[in-house]
A = this chain, B = another copy of it.
Amino acid sequence: MPRPRRSEQTREALITAGIDQISMHGYHGTGIKQILDIVNVPKGSFYNFFSSKEAFVAELIKEYSRTVQTQLNDYQLNQGATLSPVEQLRDIYKFGVQEFANSQFQKSCLIGALAADIGAESALCQQALKKAMTEWQDVFTKLFEQAQQAGELRTDVSALQLSSVYWSTWEGSLLKMKVTGDAQAASDTMEMMLSIFFKAA
């Protein structure tokens, strides 16, 4: 039997506020109360949906990853459809940089933020983070493969390795951007990856 609509809305509101707050303040910097106040939900209700803060955050990671997957998928079917793989990769990093810049650099990638502060502490979150990283990587590995096949990127390194290095550089750039507020530097770094370091000889 499907859950009543109202309850589903509350759950979604908790998740949205949770992603928002935790991508700004991290796991330890975000209290459940903070989220309940934003959504205007009593504490008891929270525990109808999630057994603990840890379980809640693991759910946020899943939901965040699902949203990113959907956005990437939609992009590839629409604006990206007529672009080359590297042009798509460029659009995607630019979109990401812009999104975090729009938050005055307060927000960052939820996966990176949580990896830093709970990555090694909670087995439940760790599992969810690993899965999210793999999901991200799968999409990008495909794009890197296509770019290699199109002759845009070097082929002496596997698409999987390109995508793995790219993830690290991306997350590190976001960390730096959070401190410096320098969106251009983050874009420059990602652009160098695509148009210099990963470029086909």
Which residues of A are at the interface with B, using a C-beta cutoff of 8 A?
A: 24-29, 104-106, 108, 112-113, 115-117, 119-121, 126, 129-130, 133, 156-157, 161, 164-165, 167-173, 175-176, 178-181, 185, 188-189, 192-193, 196-198, 201
Contacts and interface: CB of A to CB of B under 8 A. Distances in A.
B185 A164 contact: yes
B164 A115 contact: no
Contact of A130 (B179, B197, B201): B179
Contact of A116 (B26, B105, B129, B201): B26
Nearest to A31: B28
Given A185-B164, A193-B165, A105 B117 contact: no
Contacts of A28: 25-29, 117
Contact of A171 (B26, B164, B175): B175
A157 B192 contact: yes
Nearest to A171: B172
Nearest to A173: B168
A179 to B, nearest CB: 4
Given A165-B193, A168-B189, A176 B117 contact: no
Given A161-B192, A165-B169, A175 B115 contact: yes
Contacts of A196: 156-157
